[in-house]
Structure 1
Amino acid sequence: MTPLPAPSLRPNDAFRRLRGPLSPAEFAASVRRAAREIGEQVSCDARYIGRVESGAIRCPNYAYERVFRHMFPGRSLTDLGFASRESVRGHGARHGAGTVPAPAPGAGASIDVFEESELLRRAFMTSGAAAAAVAATPLVPAAPTPLVPPPRRSGRRVGEAEAAAVEEAVRRIRVLDDRHGADTLYSHTATPLSAAYALLDAGGYSRSVAERLYAGAGELAISVGWLAHDSGRLSDARSHYAEALATARVSGDPALEAHAFCNTAFLARDAGRPREAVRAAQAAQRVAERLSSPRLLSLLALREAGGWAWLGDRGGCEAALLRAQTLFGRGPSDGDPEWMSFYGEAELEGLEAQCWSALGDWGRAADHARRAVALQDPHFTRNIALFTTELAADLAHDGAPDEAAAAAGRALRLMDQVTSSRIRRMLDDTARRLRPHGAVPPVADFLDHYETATRPQRV
């Protein structure tokens, strides 16, 4: 059967004008800030903004509508370039595929991370992706080689709704990780990741859907890999990143390939393989030269700098840092990948702090870590905890135990909201380093709170 042509899209020029000189990632960040101002929760990123501007989203869901009306008072949906809600109601509008309705204003503040993770799983499963995933799952668990049934056995065609579900799963994971860290999320991601690759295996989709599925599945593998990385499952992370890299190579997607190499470099550094980190970062930069994103090249130069720092090569590290700073100074562009919404001045400072720390220049590292904490967007709770913990470690090494204890105490309080084995291990190391200074009042106070927080709870 010849696939039906996709309906033509009418670009939303009015919304594009409202974005002005901001990049899609920067504008998405402003949308998230506006949502927090009115108690909404939206997982807005550069891809969502791109879909709005291309006309793929004819009308936003109610949560986004409230946020946009807050940002642009007095303007109706049609003033913002959208179709009226009445004109799309009942027509299966794309904006609803695979999304989670946001809570009413003020209702989201106390939602638990486990509940949010379950919302992620349900949102993906109810989109139609689950049907395809089940159809592609072998019925005999003991079969050594799983066989994928013919794709039409499920009775439905893989299309826009399934591609949107994969993309929404990626967005949701990233937002939850920004807020909470990886430990409580990782176990909830196996089902959507398996479903995404089952959709690819099912076939029977158009070229445009195929491109979205490959990109979405690859990005989902990277997101799941990062959750494994941050929760201390380094071998799992390596496997997921390799899966994403293979997907990028098969589909000829340089943006996905650069992202996979970027995370592979980061993982290699954390796993004690700094030379591999340098090679992966350099490979990522070669691929990224084909893209129009100085900010991406800046981040990749920082990944290379981290590898050189752990090798003890100060010259190589400084050269890569200078390149990263120069590229960052060229500003954002429309070519910046959506996943880079976290990469701003705070991240630049934080990654440079890690380099100086690896080189043993503790004072310089502390200066950069302090700036990273001050500059971080409040949305990125996990990164605030990370940079604060880095600051505490640098101060402890630099012979300032009282300041280190104060920073460590702030990080410890943030760990009530963040579950990251990597950050927890860093904080444990700082506590051990501070114990010989237990006679210093701020240190004694921190150690007391630390011991209470980490003491196993009696049942």
Structure 2
Amino acid sequence: MEGNENLADAMHNLGFKQLELADAVNDRLRAQGYEGTVGDRTVRNWLAGKTRWPHRRQREALEALFACTAEELGFSPPARQRTSTSPEGPVNRRNFLTAAGNLSAAAAIPQAGAPPVVGTSDVLRLRSGLDALMALDDTQGGHEALERAALAGATEALAKQKLAATQRIRQRLYAVAADYTATAAWSALDARRCTRAQMLLSQAHYLAGMAQDSAVELRVWNSYAMLAHQQGRYGEAVDAAQAAQAATITRRDPLFASLAHARTAVGHSALGDRQSALRSLGCAQEALDKAQALPRPSWVAFYGSAELAAVTSIVRDRVGDFAEAEAASHQALSSIPTPFLRNRAMATTRLALAQLHQRDKDQACATASTVFSLMSGHPVPGRMRSLLGDFYRDLITLAPNARVAREWEDRYRSEWS
């Protein structure tokens, strides 16, 4: 028995998983006043070729979702339903397909007076918009336009959840709204607008609870830890990172556990707790070694071996292991993906700090200067400006009268003017 490759390809192109397609078909059926009885097993049978010709209402729902005929989706009607007359000419076939498409489209339109129904396809569309915002953040970092766009996405998701066909769809829309709000909070955090970030994180935390989505919950706690760190509340940063470790998703996916341990390590290093910081780093590496390639939310795409190396550089520098910090920065820069421009610039600044703390002033200034070239043409987020400010302060502290320090100071001031 051959599988239905046409349907599999169509699902892949629209980003449908089996259960998501089942939900989307059921949404279409309910919109027409019928019971939604399609389940994950039904879709498996379609894909495996066990069901060669679905029920008429299911076929119509599939045709409306994929904007093509059931035959084009790889289904074949029983022999008794096939015509014995001569093949249709191309014009007749075109007319039939057009009519079938029109009928499918008409079937997808709710009857007058019926409330609009929000289903899986709406969730997928909203998530694709979130993915686009995360790609923008990777290059430009946090800024007000990104924050506004994220909040608009959250507003739309919350408006649609009131019209959701099922409780499952409502929860997924809450999760999308929480992710959008957390993206807005991250944008404020990256811009070092702490008060704004605090308010948005509170909203995101509430929505994540409504969604019962532990991945979003972990994301919020991770951002809380970073916010507390920015504000110098290092004990709270450790507490928030440990709350992230307690999220359910860390027991299912070691990559999330690794991220939470890495954030805890940063907090311990800021408190000067060398032993705890290095122990958390070890836990982060151990968990990451167990992580497998799985579908994950786009916001966590930044995290992997390169980001853990960047975090290692921060921790090692804080606890006084400057040579190890430099080595970790080089490791991070060798593997940070090209689209993550902001992360690459941050890792470069960390490398410059590690070099400076080893009293290699000339090399440190040369390294730090490359950040301006990396971010040329892009807004420089407040978090990066602050880190470069740390480099400048350490430079004039260690070498207040050195010529290279004065030259870098001139470059630093001219770039920000």
Match of 1:423 in 2: 384
Match of 2:416 in 1: 454
Shift of 1:350: 0.5
Cα deviation per residue 1:369-407 (whole Å; 9 max; x = unaligned)?
222122211110010011011111222232111111111
Contact 1:288 1:296 in 2 (8 A): no
- Seen in structure 2, the aligned counterparts of structure 1 residues 219 and 188 have a Cα distance that, compared at 3 Å, is closer
Equivalent position amino acid for 1:426 in 2: L
Q: 2:322 aligns with which of 357, 362, 374?
A: 362
Shift of 1:287: 1.8
Unaligned runs of 5+ in 2: 22-59, 68-111
Q: 2:127 aligns with which of 156, 160, 167?
A: 167
Q: 1:217 aligns with which of 173, 177, 185?
A: 177
Match of 1:269 in 2: 229
Q: Indicate whether 1:206 and 2:170 are aligned.
A: no
Shift of 1:290: 6.1
SS where residue 287 of structure 1 aligns?
A: coil
- Seen in structure 2, the aligned counterparts of structure 1 residues 332 and 89 have a Cα distance that, compared at 3 Å, is closer
Q: Which runs of 4+ in 1 moved over 4 A?
A: 9-16, 87-94, 152-155, 335-338, 435-445
Contact 1:277 1:307 in 2 (8 A): yes
Q: Indicate whether 1:394 and 2:358 are aligned.
A: no
The structure number with the bigger radius of gyration is 2
For the residues of structure 1 that align with 2:325 and 2:114, how far apart are their CA atoms?
56
Shift of 1:419: 2.6
- Seen in structure 2, the aligned counterparts of structure 1 residues 454 and 339 have a Cα distance that, compared at 3 Å, is closer
Cα deviation per residue 1:333-377 (whole Å; 9 max; x = unaligned)?
437554321112110111111112232333322221222122211
- Seen in structure 2, the aligned counterparts of structure 1 residues 49 and 273 have a Cα distance that, compared at 3 Å, is farther
Cα deviation per residue 1:175-214 (whole Å; 9 max; x = unaligned)?
00001111252344333333333333x3443234223211
Q: 1:197 aligns with which of 134, 158, 182?
A: 158
Contact 2:147 2:183 in 1 (8 A): no
Q: CA RMSD in A?
A: 3.6
Cα deviation per residue 1:44-88 (whole Å; 9 max; x = unaligned)?
xxxx9993454968xxxxxxxxxxxxxxxxxxxxxxxxxxxxx99
Unaligned runs of 5+ in 1: 1-8, 17-47, 58-86, 95-151
Which structure has more helix as a fraction of its residues?
A: 2
Cα deviation per residue 1:416-453 (whole Å; 9 max; x = unaligned)?
23531110121123234334748766555544433322
Identity of aligned residues (%): 26
Q: What does 1:171-190 correspond to in 2, within 5 Å?
A: 171-184=131-144, 185-190=146-151
Equivalent position amino acid for 2:240 in 1: A
TM-score by length of 1: 0.64
Deviates more, 1:263-272 or 1:318-327: 263-272
For the residues of structure 2 that align with 1:287 and 1:159, how far apart are their CA atoms?
27
For the residues of structure 1 that align with 2:130 and 2:197, how far apart are their CA atoms?
16
Cα deviation per residue 1:26-57 (whole Å; 9 max; x = unaligned)?
xxxxxxxxxxxxxxxxxxxxxx9993454968
Match of 2:261 in 1: 301
Contact 1:11 1:53 in 2 (8 A): no
Shift of 1:153: 10
For the residues of structure 1 that align with 2:259 and 2:7, how far apart are their CA atoms?
31
Match of 1:28 in 2: none
Shift of 1:282: 1.6
